[in-house]
Amino acid sequence: MTVRYLSAIEKELQEKYWGLSQPNDVVRCIICAHEGHMEQTCPSRTCKHCQARDEHFSHACPMQRRCFRCGERGHDQQGCRSKRVLSESERLFCELCLEPGHVDEDCSYLWRTFALEKMLNLKKVATLRRGCYECGTDRHWGDDC
């Protein structure tokens, strides 16, 4: 799908977020940043673990939640029926970086990593359009609000 077939609002968003303004530019999804589809048809809207749509992303699936009492996935400590109880060192172990001392949800890998290989065709722009994440204006940046 290309920018040519988008509505005026969709074209504005494609230019704002990705710098895409030419009619033959391939659209990029605002949710997952992949080329070729828009957010309405984004596969990331469906959880790959439980197939719920528009309820949560796969990384936040409640079926993948790990119980701090027994260590099993699919339930939390309040709903735990297991007789197994983890020791303190077992409880504070991250399955993402495989290091002790913290759990997956607190791992710095979550904010330090991204999938660069999925975004190799990023378009470079001469200037960035200002935008505030606090109030929505285009007169200043969010941290200046």
Mean pLDDT of the chain: 84
- Cα 119 from Cα 129, distance rounded (Å): 20
Q: Residue 93: what pLDDT?
A: 80
pLDDT digits (tens, 9 = 90+) for 95-104: 778 888 887 7
- Cα 104 from Cα 111, distance rounded (Å): 12
57 neighbors 50 (Cβ within 8 angstroms): no
Share in percent of the chain as helix, strand, coil (round to 5): 30, 5, 60
On whether residue 17 sits in a domain, the answer given is yes
pLDDT confidence band for 121 (50 / 70 / 90): low
Give me the number of domains the chain comprises: 1
On whether residue 129 sits in a domain, the answer given is no
Beta bridge partners of 9: none
Q: Residue 8: what pLDDT?
A: 95
On whether residue 14 sits in a domain, the answer given is yes
Instruction: Dig out the tokens for 95 from the structure.
Output: 């399955």
pLDDT at 114 over 70: no
Instruction: Dig out the tokens for 117 from the structure.
Output: 């290989």
The domain of 5 spans 1-44
pLDDT digits (tens, 9 = 90+) for 27-53: 999 888 899 999 999 998 999 889 999
On whether residue 139 sits in a domain, the answer given is no
On whether residue 23 sits in a domain, the answer given is yes
On whether residue 114 sits in a domain, the answer given is no
Q: Residue 119: what pLDDT?
A: 53
On whether residue 37 sits in a domain, the answer given is yes
Structure pTM?
0.50
Please give the radius of gyration of the chain, using alpha carbons only, rounded to the nearest integer.
20
On whether residue 130 sits in a domain, the answer given is no
DSSP result, 48-112: TTT--BSS--GGG-GGGPBPTTT--BSS-GGG---S----HHHHSB-TTT--BSS-GGG-THHHH
